Amino acid sequence: MKHFAIVLIAGIVGLAAGCWDARTCAAAAADEEAVDLILSLLGEEDRDMRALAFQQIREEVPGAAATKKFVAALPKLPPEVQAGLLEALGDRGDPVARPAIVAMLESKEPAVRASALKALGPLGTAEEVPLLARWAAEGSEAEKKAARQSLIRLRAEGMNKVIVAAIEKAPPAQRAALIAALAGRNATEALPAIIHHLQDDEGAVRLAAIGALRALAGPDEAVALVSAVCRAKEAAEQHAAELALLSLASRQREKIAGSVIEGLKTASPQAKASLLRVLARIGNAQALEAIVQCLKDQEQSVRDEAVRLLAVWPDPAVVPHLMALAANSDNLRDQVLVVRALVQLGGPPKGKPADLQLLAEALRLAKRPQEKRLVLGALGLADDPKALSLIAPLLDQDELVEEAALAAVQVAERIKQADKGEVRAVLERVVQKSKNAEVVQRAQKLLSAQ
């Protein structure tokens, strides 16, 4: 039946498409016959047959006359079919259907209303902007989603200006929905209006403006986002502003560093912490220096955040600052973070040798067995016999002997050209000191091969 319907509709539509001159009347009759057949398929219980009808409405039988017949059928159909037909009419793109689609928003069926809202995306005009804004703010979740999508899809000329104008007259929830629509429409020309609403009286509107800037902002909007971080009235708002600024930092890097650093001068401690995280995302020398300066901040929370960020800085340029921090701080937390940072920087990256000088500094600064074990883990990955001279003293420390023994064996297995006497001496101590049978066996195997 389905195959027969496809062939029949295709034949009728083909006849209509081919008759323009003397056979115009025959073409019109064919159009009507195709429309009648499509409408009959809408009454089928088989969903596949209805889907076929919707496809034909979207793609075949053009013209306002056909659209009017499809629209006239709307009130007579069950809700499920009404919903499908509304969406098909929206995709059809004939503005003749717009008044009937708007009228279906009065339906008692939520699914029908949602489909009508969705259909207004390709068909709606400036008149529908306030209507869609209301549904986007006040409808059910499905209705809100459909209305928001349609606000983004509206394609009439000058629609972004219409939406900006509507924001000024709309209540708070609708203002937020309209601002979000501008972001979805990539309406960069609306940035001044969006920035204006960063100082809206309503938190929901401010959050919407921040969200829009996260998507649309460029370097020129960095100052506005820094101000939003500093001016935030609630934690959620500050977090959102920080995320937007982090997103901008990922795209623009050093282009916004100056704006962020300037913001540090007047920021509250909590806002400073946010801005420091943005500087870490920027990651250039200017950002590094600004974070280092915050080690002298009067607020402990700011100093703590600066230390934490320096400890995860990926560039070796941070090493002198880490060493200075270790030398000047008696705080155990700071010491631990410095050691871990040096281990991270000094451990052998893929394809490169370990930085034994950094690992030696980390070992010197480590005050607890936990951090010394981290250093031993990195030393064990080295392929330099000099690592053994750093490992060997730790074989005499009871709490570290097993980790040191394993690290020594790992290095000995990895190095190719080395002083066999020096390696033998360390391996003999491993055999003597370690109680791990596997490690001892590996050491003995290396000794026997020398």
Query: Within the chain, which residues score under 50 in pLDDT?
Result: 1-2, 4-28, 30
- Please tell me the predicted confidence (pLDDT) of residue 139: 92
What DSSP line would sit under 281-307, residue for residue?
Answer: HH-SHHHHHHHHHGGG-SSHHHHHHHH
Rounded Cα–Cα distance for residues 11 and 26 (Å): 13
Torsion angle, CA of 28/34/39/44, rounded to 10 degrees? 170
Q: Contact 60/13 with Cβ under 8 angstroms?
A: yes
| C-alpha 298 chain-centroid distance | 34
Q: Contact 212/179 with Cβ under 8 angstroms?
A: yes
- Please tell me the predicted confidence (pLDDT) of residue 417: 60
Q: Dump pLDDT digits (tens) for 1-13.
A: 445 444 444 444 4
Q: Look at the block and give the residue holding tokens 């690592």.
A: 387
Q: Look at the block and give the residue holding tokens 């100056």.
A: 258
Q: Which two tokens stand for residue 28?
A: 């019109």
Query: What does R_g of the chain's alpha carbons equal in angstroms?
Result: 35
Cβ contacts of 439 within 8 Å, gap of 6 or more: 402, 405, 406, 409, 430
Q: Dump pLDDT digits (tens) for 87-114.
A: 999 999 999 999 999 999 999 999 999 9
Distances (CA, A) of 266 to 198, 227, 299: 18, 10, 13
- Please tell me the predicted confidence (pLDDT) of residue 40: 84
For residue 374, the one-letter residue type is L
For residue 263, the one-letter residue type is G
Distances (CA, A) of 344 to 279, 282, 374, 375, 386: 20, 20, 9, 9, 19
Rounded Cα–Cα distance for residues 34 and 32 (Å): 5
Q: What is the reported pTM?
A: 0.83
- Please tell me the predicted confidence (pLDDT) of residue 8: 46
Rounded Cα–Cα distance for residues 119 and 111 (Å): 12
- Please tell me the predicted confidence (pLDDT) of residue 45: 82
- Please tell me the predicted confidence (pLDDT) of residue 13: 47
Which helix or strand (DSSP H or E) is residue 51 part of? helix 47-59
Half-sphere exposure of 181 (CA within 13 A, CB side): 35
- Please tell me the predicted confidence (pLDDT) of residue 31: 67
